Amino acid sequence: MTTNDLLWSQNMAIFLHEALLRKREVLRLTGLSNSTFYNRIKAGVIPPGVPMGPRLKGWPASEINAYIKSCIAARDNVGGGAA
């Protein structure tokens, strides 16, 4: 097993248990830019983070996974997507 395989396995294990993801990980998983991420929160598309400290927030892995699934469902309902 390569290092990348191991890291992928560890990241996928997060989704098996509830975990709070830091913003960097959320941006990596969703592919969103920082500004788009906060615009989606403002629009109510992505729930706001959970306070973990005075200046620290985390996003539940289940909520981020639900957002990703909703993007896939929206693509499928349109009947395709980018080629």
DSSP code for 47: P
The model scores a pTM over 0.75: no
Per-residue pLDDT tens digits for 6-63: 666 666 665 557 899 999 999 999 999 999 999 999 999 999 999 999 999 999 999 9
DSSP code for 60: E
Return all residues near 40 (Cβ < 8 A) that are at least 6 apart.
Answer: 32, 46
Burial of 61 (0-12, 13-18, 19+ CB in 10 A): buried
Per-residue pLDDT tens digits for 27-41: 999 999 999 999 999
Residue type, 63: E
